[in-house]
Amino acid sequence: MNRRDAVKRLGVGTLLLALGAVASIIPGCGIPAATWITMGLNLIGTVLPTIPGIIAAISTLAGQQVLNQTQVQKLTQVFTGVQSLFQQAYAALNQYQANMDPTLITKIQDIVTQIKTQLSGVLANVQITDTATVAKITSIINAFTDLANNILVILPSVTAGKVTARRVSAAQLKRVTPEIWAAEFNAAAHKPSGSAVVDGAFGTVHAIPLK
């Protein structure tokens, strides 16, 4: 019996039930290249414009004697470095969109991992003592780290030059959007820190989702 005859004997209804059972076992669908590239570009395009505002807010706190000049300089270096890394990731995404070179995916993964590493040691390195500033910077760092993790979730894997799309559930994909991240970032940036001075400095820092 050939495959066509088998399908006819199985019946459409039974076949659909069988397909549904298989789909329920698979935790997610592979993300098409066009989709994850667009998502990555939009996520990075949403985070980049927030960084100059963060740097400006940090400078403001030096004038309010909340941070000293050394702390301001270190924080500025960190966020300037993160900005540069996001720009590199953005450029690599555009390059991959143009030529589909698998090595660029590995490059993007490395860059995003560097972002996480650079952010992970900020508080220990800068040694901020003001609790309100610690709370504010921590919230922003956590939002940036979440965005980096979101990008890593959607990037395909590369093994021996072969690109394999990530299987991501619908629930995961729903979270990996500029709108969701911008809302989370804005909530973090504007969450009361216990200091009117610190909250005022970050009052104009705002993420606008890129669609």
* Residue pLDDT, tens place only, 45-92: 999 999 999 999 999 998 788 999 999 999 999 999 999 999 999 999
Measured CA to CA, the distance from residue 184 to residue 50 in angstroms comes to 13
Helix (H, G, I), strand (E, B) or coil at 159: strand
pLDDT for res 78:
96
Q: Which residue's entry shows tokens 């560097």?
A: 114
pTM: 0.81
Q: Alpha-carbon distance 30 to 34, whole Å?
A: 12
* pLDDT value at 41 more than 70: yes
> Residue 148's closest CA among 206, 188, 109, 97?
109
pLDDT surpasses 80 at 4: no
- 194 pLDDT above the threshold of 60: yes
Q: What distance in Å separates the CA atoms of residue 45 and residue 173, rounded to the nearest whole number?
A: 18
Q: Where are the beta strands (DSSP E) in the chain?
A: 29-30, 157-159, 162-164, 167-168
Residues 99-128 have a mean pLDDT of 93
* Alpha carbon 101 to chain centroid, angstroms: 22
pLDDT band at 185 (very low <50, low <70, confident <90, very high): very high
| Nearest alpha carbon to residue 130 among 75, 81, 206, 205 | 75
Whether 145 and 119 have beta carbons less than 8 Å apart is answered as yes
Mean pLDDT of the chain: 84
Rounded distance, CA 67 to CA 59, Å?
A: 8
The model's pLDDT over 143-172, given as tens digits with 9 standing for 90+, comes to 999 999 988 988 988 988 888 888 877 777
Contact 77, 92 (CB under 8 A): no
Q: State how far the Cα of 84 lies from the Cα of 51, in Å rounded to an integer.
A: 10
pLDDT for residue 29: 57
DSSP reduced 3-state for 114: helix
Which structure tokens are listed for 109?
A: 């993964």
